Structure 1
Amino acid sequence: MKVYKYRGGSTYYCEIDQEHKRILERDLESLKADYFWAPTRYTLNDPFECLFKDKVSPVFNGLKQLFPSENTHQLQMALESLLNFIDKSGIYSLSQTPLSELLWSHYAYSHTGFCVEYDLKILTKYRHQNLTELSIQYNQQSPSIELQDILANSNDLISQKMFGYKSQAWSYEEEIRIITPEYGRIDYDYRAVNAIYFGLRMDAQDKNLIMESLKGRSIKYYQMILKHESYQLAYEPIEDLFLDAPPYKYNIAPIADDAIDTYNKEFSEYQNYLVKAAEIVRRDPYCRRVDTVMFSNNKSTVPNPIVIVQYEITPPYTYNHYLTLDEIDEQYSKILDL
């Protein structure tokens, strides 16, 4: 799924506004260093963030007075822990469109900034981070957290009610948000950034600066334009000025001894695909070592074997990467440094 973040302000328009210049530099630095900042609800521009009706606490208070037991105390502690989670968590807000006139005006400093296109799946699956994705529901009334929500132990439902509702007035944002266990810096796989859209009023010097800062990452670039005789926005592709730059985070990791399985006779005719898969994965920019390459017992069939590659990244996590034979052929054909 593609999601979008409106960012920055042009230094051309910042000559009389150093705050805008500082924000552009901040946003560009986070892109270069492959992270986003998830603030607390208190620093967001909606004072009603995480507003809900707590219909559980009064029930617990009554139960404690009638039945002062260890069980009711534990339930109360669980509820307090849940409510405290709101204050320490982070919220990263994104949109489902790069074409919002109002979002360009509000968050990209009157169209002088830019918009980042992310792949949401890649953005949230880095290094086993416990991130939650929510689609905002817009309503005239705030939601209620009921006793049955707690008893059902439905974390998804409770998260939606705590973080996933906003007033109908905000519906134009078409918001998708990422909830982080703690607020602050969240690192991500740089390949989550698919494209950059330049605002209508962004200075050419700053466009060049962004392209130079992000060179070697295979990012696509687009210029926002006005549709003829219309109030609607559109965009058109523009050339990457640094298309010939060397790859960012170039890597060829080692392959562990005996990593490639040579004992599976059922798929022996496809043995060369294991070697190809190892060559593909060892070039992953975050791969430290390829540990195991084999045909998956669970996913493979005789006419359609699936290769699983287990590899280590930093800090020491093990990833499982699955590849079909067609995917191996396609990706292996693009390797230029064999």
Structure 2
Amino acid sequence: MKLYKYQKYSHQTLGSIIKNKIWLSGAKNFNDLFDCKFQQDKFTENEYIELKHINDFRKKQDIPYVDLGFSKFEFNEIIFNDVKTNAMYHGAQEYLYEFGIFCLSEIPDSILMWSHYADNHKGICLEFDVDLKLNNTLLAVNYATKYPKVSIYDMGINLAKTTHSILATKSADWSYEKEWRYIVNDKSDQLINNPFKLTSIIFGARSKSEDIETILEAVKHNKDVSFKKATQSNTDYEMLISDYVHI
């Protein structure tokens, strides 16, 4: 499967390509105010008891768990105390912000994404070959009109599934991006080794000739990488992608 990353050209971008690295962003700094948010859903006393037993087991086995942060005697007070409930969910939200996310798209020819993410067509778009079987934290984004509804119980029973559900859900307004997300725990705002194979670099319709030459020189030893160019159609509102011919 091919997935694409639109980027502004910079020394940092060039360095990442040369070193075969990718930058994982934290959701707290995303441009979408609604990204990675969820609705609070309360849970029952029976669910609390079940979750308490599960957590005790996970502690002994050194398995990640959701810290309830209160005793059974405080349970009823918390259920009817919005301040304490909100504090619990605030902690869960901060936990989500610790994840590093690498955003990709199914399409390399989006006019909006070339404009928004690739410096008004002056940047580049990286093409990656992705094996979904080898990347189980690479998730297709679900587009919705409402936040995912999540309780602390949901997070406690299946932390990975619930976390991924929240981190891979966005407003339907963004559906044109056809986004996928590579998600890594506790790696927010960090540079990591690239888990995918870079197969092509697409230059923007307004890419500067000196930027193109710099990239060609930097990547010339990697025979697995091809070069393409995005151009503006003369008849339709669309971007055309074709092989780059070096003159």
Normalising by structure 1, we get a TM-score of 0.57
User: In structure 2, how many angstroms separate the alpha carbons of the residues matched to 1:170 and 1:234?
Assistant: 22
**CA root-mean-square deviation:** 3.2
The verdict on how the C-alpha distance between 1:144 and 1:74 changes in structure 2, with shifts beyond 3 A counting, is farther
Aligned residue type for 1:41: A
Specify the SS of the correspondent of 1:59.
coil
Q: Is the 8 A contact 1:50 1:165 kept in 2?
A: yes
Asked if the contact 1:6–1:104 (Cα under 8 Å) also holds between the matched residues in 2, the reply is yes
Q: Structure 1 pair 187/110, CA: closer, same or farther in 2 (3 Å)? A: same
After superposition, give the CA deviation of every residue in 1:6-62 in whole Å (9 maximum; x if it has no partner): 1124xxxxxxxxxxxxxx11111111111011011111111222111232xx326x4
- Residue by residue, what CA displacement relative to the aligned partner does 1:263-309 show, whole Å, maximum 9, x if unpaired? xxxxxxxxxxxxxxxxxxxxxxxxxxxxxxxxxxxxxxxxxxxxxxx
Q: Does 1:27 align with 2:13?
A: yes
CA separation in 1, counterparts of 2:54 and 2:106? 42
List per-residue Cα deviations over 1:224-269 (Å, max 9, x = no partner): 112231111111102468xxxxxxxxxxxxxxxxxxxxxxxxxxxx
1:99 corresponds to which of 109, 113, 130: 109
Call closer, same or farther: CA 1:86–1:80 in 2, change over 3 Å. Answer: farther
| Structure 2 equivalent of residue 323 of structure 1 | none
1:68 is displaced (CA, Å) by 11
How far does residue 114 in structure 1 lie from its aligned partner after superposition?
A: 0.7
Q: Match of 2:149? A: 144
227, 232, 238: which is aligned to 2:238?
232
Higher relative contact order (CA 8 A, sep 6+): 2
The answer as to 2:14 corresponding to 1:8 is no
Q: Equivalences for 1:280-299 in 2 at 5 Å?
A: none
CA offset at residue 119 of structure 1?
Answer: 1.1
2:26 equivalent to 1:40: yes
Unaligned runs of 5+ in 1: 10-23, 242-338
| Cα gap change, 1:102 to 1:63, in 2 (>3 Å) | same
Instruction: Please say if 1:52 is aligned against 2:38.
Output: yes
Q: Which residue pairs with 1:192 in the alignment?
A: 197
Q: Where does the alignment leave 5 or more consecutive residues of structure 2 unmatched? A: 60-64, 69-90
TM-aligned CA deviation for residue 150 of structure 1: 4.8
Matches of 2:47 and 2:170, distance apart in 1:
33
**Inter-partner Cα distance in structure 1 for 2:101 and 2:155:** 22
Amino acid corresponding to residue 223 of structure 1 in structure 2 = K
Q: Which residue of 1 aligns with 2:165?
A: 161
- Pair 1:71-2:76 in alignment: no
Residues 211 and 240 of structure 1 are in contact (CA less than 8 Å); yes or no, is this contact kept in structure 2? no
Amino acid at match of 1:79: V
Question: What is the alpha-carbon distance in structure 1 between the residues aligned to residue 126 and residue 233 of structure 2?
Answer: 21
Alpha-carbon deviation of 1:170? Answer: 1.1
Q: Secondary structure at the match of 2:131?
A: helix
Q: TM-score, normalised by structure 2?
A: 0.76
Percent same amino acid at aligned positions? 26
Q: Which has the higher helix share?
A: 2
C-alpha separation between the residues in 1 aligned to 2:246 and 2:217?
A: 9
Contact 2:51 2:156 in 1 (8 A): no
Aligned structure 1 segments of 4 or more residues deviating by more than 2 angstroms:
62-65, 67-75, 77-85, 145-156
Shift of the alpha carbon at 1:73?
Answer: 6.7
Aligned length: 216
* Structure 1 residue aligned with 2:182: 178
> How far is 1:205 from its partner?
1.3
Any residues of structure 2 matched to 1:95-134 within 5 Å, and which? Answer: 95-121=105-131, 125=134, 132-134=137-139
Q: 2:80 aligns to what? A: none
